[in-house]
Chain A
Amino acid sequence: MDIKAGLLKKDKRAAARLISMMENGESEAVQIIKECYGMTGHARIIGITGAPGVGKSTVTDKLAKQLRKEGKQIGIIAVDPTSPFTGGAILGDRVRMTDLNTDPGVFIRSMGTRGALGGLSKAVHGAVKILDIFGMDYIFIETVGVGQSEIDIVKLADTVIMVMVPGLGDDIQAIKAGIMEIGDIFAVNKSDRDGADRTAAEIEAMLDFNRSEEYRPPVLNIIARDNGGIEELIRLVEEHWEYENKSGSYKKKKSNRLKAEVMDIFRDSIMRTVHSMSENTNIINELIQKVMDKQLDPYSAADRLMDEFTENQRHKF
């Protein structure tokens, strides 16, 4: 299968295979993305985040269906956790998106976090580009829950929808998780349940002293299961997008995002270089042994590794 030609012809198999190659860290995948990079930048990227069980998949499903009515092409990247013990994963987000499966204008991909440091973020970055090149108008990234890796991923998004539900602890929980800072829109799902208005009011109260900027994230009550509030939610996404563009904060966000990505890739390639250097010289193990024996402290060991790396690079040129 010619993956690149397939991708350009909108063959879902080619896109799917390329995402796998990216997940598996194959350099050929990077090469294809490099060649097609000029075609990226069309898709709007929407992050859907929130604690487990709040209804992220259902919200994504309903948003996608609504946008499909408007003729938009939709990509969905749904991330679920990889077991740190076995490396396996159960990726179950499709269960809530069954009707979208056979829609030709939709591509859904489930991804495991796979645990490798920074690995997920790299694979998700890759998958977003692949779906963008494929020609999607909107790409949803649905995260596992709320935590550091989610924050890394949602940084990719143009707009982040934070999904919350009534009755998940008090407002202190919200401050703890740092979630007030990353949501551009707060959707209180399952709002037919008791306490929805209170949850919304608590979020508003947190926003009162969290934000100093001009843009204040709206808080919306929704009932995703019954499609309640979904059209309004899309309207808020559009409003946020307009604000971002008008205020110039999109440009800033985008430049920060690209910087973070380039630095990530750079860090990754340094780590790989150091590891392959150490395969020949065994320097990492030697240094660690010295730290074990208290001949060296960890800081000096890292300094030495850096010296060795610089020396190694000098010989290359």
Chain B
Amino acid sequence: MDRPIRVVVAKPGLDGHDRGAKVVARALRDAGMEVIYTGLRQTPEQIVETAIQEDADCVAMSILSGAHNHLFPKVVNLLKEKGIDDVLIVGGGVIPEDDIPGLIEAGVAGIFTPGTPTSVTIDFIRNNIKRK
């Protein structure tokens, strides 16, 4: 693929901790991707609209507030409702092991918890985006 992969990096929910999201954004940039950074406190609706207007290949969300079980699936479902099936969705943040299977079940393709090397996330996105 000779075009850059476009990734929306978003912070849904109300926590103000964006260090992780910024580290990931920077790493994706250094991997040659175009990162659309949304900033803090995004609603699922805002994230979905951003993904549409930016024609994103991937939406990467970070949550440290514990609201992941609510907000991640909400973004997945909103995209589905709009008939968008070619956007890869991944999540990260402090997410308990026990919650991960449920999130994957809900349609989040990958969950990356603290300590994940950025190269793992980068490879996952590269290998799993749905458009060539």
CA distance A160 to B48 in the complex (A): 31
A146 contacts chain B at the CB level, 8 A cutoff = no
The stretch of A88-96, A184-192, A238-246, A294-302 in contact with B is A88-96
A107 contacts chain B at the CB level, 8 A cutoff = yes
Q: Which among A83, A88, A89, A107 is the interface contact of B53 at CB below 8 angstroms?
A: A107
**Structural contact, A94 and B36, CB atoms closer than 8 A:** yes
Chain A residues contacting B128 (CB-CB under 8 Å) are none
Residues 58-92 of B, flagged 1 when their CB comes within 8 A of A and 0 if not, give 00000000000000000000000010100000000
Q: From DSSP, what is the main secondary structure of chain A's interface residues?
A: mixed
Residues 88-109 of A, flagged 1 when their CB comes within 8 A of B and 0 if not, give 1111101100100110000111
CA distance A109 to B49 in the complex (A): 11
Contacting residues of chain B (29-46) with chain A, CB-CB under 8 angstroms: 29-39, 41-43, 45-46
B54 contacts chain A at the CB level, 8 A cutoff = yes
A20 contacts chain B at the CB level, 8 A cutoff = yes
Chain B residues contacting A13 (CB-CB under 8 Å) are 52, 55, 82, 84
**Structural contact, B28 and A101, CB atoms closer than 8 A:** no
**Structural contact, A87 and B4, CB atoms closer than 8 A:** yes
**Structural contact, A94 and B39, CB atoms closer than 8 A:** yes
B50 contacts chain A at the CB level, 8 A cutoff = yes
B25 contacts chain A at the CB level, 8 A cutoff = yes
B19 contacts chain A at the CB level, 8 A cutoff = no
Q: How many A-B residue pairs have CB under 8 A?
A: 87
CA distance A98 to B41 in the complex (A): 9
B126 contacts chain A at the CB level, 8 A cutoff = no
Sorting the interface of chain B by its residue count into under 10, 10 to 19, 20 to 34 or 35 or more gives 20 to 34
**Structural contact, A88 and B34, CB atoms closer than 8 A:** yes
**Structural contact, A89 and B50, CB atoms closer than 8 A:** no
**Structural contact, B55 and A83, CB atoms closer than 8 A:** no
**Structural contact, B55 and A89, CB atoms closer than 8 A:** no
CA distance A101 to B36 in the complex (A): 13
Q: Which among B30, B37, B54 is the interface contact of A86 at CB below 8 angstroms?
A: B30
CA distance A83 to B26 in the complex (A): 11
A17 contacts chain B at the CB level, 8 A cutoff = yes
Q: Chain B residue with minimal CB distance to A16?
A: B55
Q: Which among A19, A88, A114 is the interface contact of B35 at CB below 8 angstroms?
A: A88
Q: Which among A89, A94, A95, A107 is the interface contact of B34 at CB below 8 angstroms?
A: A89
**Structural contact, A92 and B37, CB atoms closer than 8 A:** yes
CA distance A16 to B42 in the complex (A): 20
CA distance A102 to B33 in the complex (A): 25
Shortest CB-to-CB span from A175 to chain B, Å, is: 34
Q: Chain B residue with minimal CB distance to A15?
A: B53
Q: Chain B residue with minimal CB distance to A75?
A: B53
Chain B residues contacting A109 (CB-CB under 8 Å) are 53-54
**Structural contact, A88 and B29, CB atoms closer than 8 A:** yes
Contact (A88, B32) CB under 8 Å given A12-B53, A101-B49, A102-B46 = yes
**Structural contact, A87 and B45, CB atoms closer than 8 A:** no
CA distance A87 to B6 in the complex (A): 12
Contacting residues of chain A (90-135) with chain B, CB-CB under 8 angstroms: 90-92, 94-95, 98, 101-102, 107-110, 112, 114
Where the two chains meet, the residues of A that have a C-beta atom closer than 8 Å to any C-beta of B are: 12-13, 16-17, 19-20, 23-24, 82-83, 86-92, 94-95, 98, 101-102, 107-110, 112, 114
Where the two chains meet, the residues of B that have a C-beta atom closer than 8 Å to any C-beta of A are: 2-4, 6, 25-26, 28-39, 41-43, 45-46, 49-50, 52-55, 82, 84
Closest 5 CB pairs of A and B: A95-B39, A88-B29, A16-B55, A101-B46, A20-B55
Chain A to chain B contacts (Cβ below 8 Å), 18 pairs: A13-B82, A16-B53, A86-B29, A86-B30, A88-B29, A89-B29, A90-B29, A91-B34, A91-B37, A92-B36, A92-B37, A94-B37, A98-B42, A101-B42, A102-B49, A108-B53, A109-B54, A110-B36
